[in-house]
Amino acid sequence: MNPEYVRHKPGTRVTATMVAKHAGVSVATVSLVVNDKFRGRVSPANVAKVRESIAELGYVVDRVASSLSKGSSDLIILIAPDISNPYFAGVIAGIKEVLADRYQLLLSVTDGGELPRAQEIKASLEFRPSALLIFAPNESFVLDVRGHAPMVLIDAPGMEHVAPTINIGIDSSAHLLRNHLMELGHRSFGYLDSVTGSRTFTLRREALMGELIASGGREPSPTDVQSVVEVDAACQAFLTAWPQWDAEGVTCVICATDIQAYGVIKGARELGLRIPEDLSVASFDNLSYSSISSPALTSVELPSIDLGRAAATHALALIEGDEVAVTHQVFAGELYVRESTGRPSR
Amino acid sequence: MNPEYVRHKPGTRVTATMVAKHAGVSVATVSLVVNDKFRGRVSPANVAKVRESIAELGYVVDRVASSLSKGSSDLIILIAPDISNPYFAGVIAGIKEVLADRYQLLLSVTDGGELPRAQEIKASLEFRPSALLIFAPNESFVLDVRGHAPMVLIDAPGMEHVAPTINIGIDSSAHLLRNHLMELGHRSFGYLDSVTGSRTFTLRREALMGELIASGGREPSPTDVQSVVEVDAACQAFLTAWPQWDAEGVTCVICATDIQAYGVIKGARELGLRIPEDLSVASFDNLSYSSISSPALTSVELPSIDLGRAAATHALALIEGDEVAVTHQVFAGELYVRESTGRPSR
DNA sequence: CTGTTAGCGCATTCAA
DNA sequence: TTGAATGCGCTAACAG
């Protein structure tokens, strides 16, 4: 009961026909004006009249009808598994930078910890997007969807044969981290994985643990420790796993993401463990918070903005129909050594 | 030159007509089946045939045409100023929880630090959304837009007369923080604001500084210290302001957001300032990282998930056309006192 | 139960 | 330079 509100009045919508009538021209003329295609096609007088009428009536183009007519919406859809990870902010920033005003970016966010499902992708396809950017898919369902719209995969190692892919240099990152940890003298490693078994995460684990074990390290049980990408969930997972890990001599815990590493730090604090004296912690992402956490976190940078930029650039090329020479790009990250890793004291 | 790719082939799109022909039925029947309205209207045999054809041909509904025909898209648009603030993740989670599968959530993200502009909102309107959720607007342009679609404002203090609004209890939050800081003995306060002069931020500052000054505190120059909501930007802003603040006896810096407080912590660390002995830091948001920062951050919780839930619930009610009794909700937050605030040593 | 038909609002022919 | 006509693919009302 707030009479002062201007409530939504269905049926009140202003159409091009109404504008045309108001301006004394035809719909075609209105269309030309709103689409900025009137040069040399519409008289200045009519352009002015149409613009006045648009302003006066408060007309906005119906993009739905427009898209139907044109056969495609100027929409690029990003399907991402878990926007709660601040890592995405960087990716999104990179994408938006490239798209500018040419395309609207639509985010289709799956639920926490879930992978993009076929359903999500189908639903996105319904919008007739100009292109699809899919983050960290792991299933072959992407195959079903090919051919419907230009598609670029982001952080999808092992799927380069399916569609153009922008990847993170997991192997080189893992290598950097391994060198660092082995040099410090660690030999027994716990690993906190992400629950979204997407390929990028299994690969982070495999690449790193593979290297560590090949160098003489070992991974004690439990080996299936995982959580969603949230501080508290990761903390819980760590607290549950720690007694066994501790018994088996773990001196270093590596996490799939920085956020989870924060959870481990939190858990370690609760247990009274000193970092890095009693336990070293390292992870992937290098979020900007990692330099001010307590202790500051040793982390491998995964260049988010670059990923976004490259994916968007690639998508634009596909839309334009250009033959794209490079269909697989990899961005390598750097290792940032901070306070959370040190020599094991035992 | 990757021949194995299935490239996007324009014109290949499968339509309901093709499905109908393939299944030996009419388009109307296909429509009924895909929209789950076939009970008692289509024979089981035909339902099966249609479903088979859909699977075989890989048909997906054209939501654009569907929306045009129905007169409305099942789309709810969230216009947000700065998705890089992890605070949004909570809001989005709350919204998605309520919308479930009934509506698609479209995020229209403005550029870093920018407010939702009229342009953004106009562009969103073009999609014929079922509802609009607008985060932290500050301009009266919202007035121009009223009546086009159901609209709910989030974190928009002072705009309750424009549209239904879901707010944070800034006053009570400021009050809690003031009590805490005055009790500790602080009297001279620096304030690091957000650049997006949206009403929620100016209010955070006014409410808090107003109370502090009324209680005998003071705000030294510079008073216009602000940054975007990013760690490094905030760090820079702090480093620039600090010499003067220091000279004028500032013992406590308050930030508009946790992220910015992390920047202050980072800057203080660079300067060799001990927190809280030399400087206390507090802020608004209470992100989950604030409990593991170094030092852990004293912060006022602003309940993000509740905001999202309430906004979505309200939007659904507006869409259904229900007369909504409560058009203005406020969610109060709690104060979390941690290590970053203490008695001033001078 | 099923098919036919008439728009939805716009962009784009094609004539004038 | 302009306007009338056609169709984008689908849904809803209707007639069968």
Closest CA to B105 of A120, A106, A136: A106
Structure tokens at A288: 């900007």
Q: Which letter does DSSP use for residue B204 in this model?
A: H
Distance from CA of A265 to the nearest CA of B (A): 7
pLDDT of residue B3: 39
Structure tokens at A182: 């082995």
Contact, A155 vs A133, CB < 8 A?
no
The mean per-residue pLDDT over the stretch B170-191 comes to 95
Å between CA of B60 and C1' of C9 = 22
pLDDT of residue B1: 40
Is B71 within 7 A of strand C by CB distance?
yes
The mean per-residue pLDDT over the stretch A38-50 comes to 89
Span A181-218, pLDDT tens digits: 999 999 999 999 998 878 889 899 999 999 999 999 99
**Domain A70-168+304-330: assigned CATH number:** 3.40.50.2300
pLDDT of residue B4: 54
Contact, B303 vs B273, CB < 8 A?
no
Contact, A160 vs A342, CB < 8 A?
no
More reliable by pLDDT, B121 or B229: B229
Residue B33, CA distances (Å) to A59, A107, B18 in order: 35, 28, 15
Å between CA of A59 and C1' of C12 = 21
More reliable by pLDDT, B62 or B119: B62
Q: Which letter does DSSP use for residue A291 in this model?
A: G
pLDDT of residue A84: 75
Distance of CA A176 to the CA centre of its chain: 24
Å between CA of B68 and C1' of D12 = 13
**Domain A169-302: assigned CATH number:** 3.40.50.2300
How far is the C-alpha of B46 from the C-alpha of A138, rounded, in Å? 35
Domains A70-168+304-330 and A169-302 share a fold: yes
How far is the C-alpha of B177 from the C-alpha of B263, rounded, in Å? 20
Distance of CA A224 to the CA centre of its chain: 25
Closest CA to B282 of B250, B260, B267: B260
pLDDT of residue B2: 45
Q: Which letter does DSSP use for residue B141 in this model?
A: T
Q: Do A126 and B294 touch (CB under 8 A)?
A: no
Distance from CA of A259 to the nearest CA of B (A): 8
pLDDT of residue A345: 87
Span B1-28, pLDDT tens digits: 443 565 656 556 889 999 999 999 999 9
Using the Cα atoms of residue B239, residue B243, residue B245 and residue B246 in order, give the sign of their dihedral: positive
Q: Evaluate if residue B159 carries a pLDDT over 90.
A: no
Span A286-345, pLDDT tens digits: 998 898 888 899 999 999 999 999 999 999 998 887 666 668 999 999 999 999 999 998
The mean per-residue pLDDT over the stretch A4-16 comes to 67
Can you give the residue ranges of every domain in chain A? Answer: 3-61, 70-168+304-330, 169-302
pTM of the model: 0.86
pLDDT of residue B83: 73
Contact, A92 vs A62, CB < 8 A?
no
Supply angle C-alpha B198, B199, B200, rounded to 5.
95
Contact, A308 vs A240, CB < 8 A?
no
How far is the C-alpha of B262 from the C-alpha of B327, rounded, in Å? 35
The rounded mean pLDDT for chain B is: 88
Q: Do B126 and A61 touch (CB under 8 A)?
A: yes
Label residue A100 exposed, middle or buried (CB < 10 Å: 0-12, 13-18, 19+).
exposed
What band does A7 get if pLDDT is binned at 50, 70 and 90? Answer: low
Is B68 within 7 A of strand C by CB distance?
yes
**Domain A3-61: assigned CATH number:** 1.10.260.40
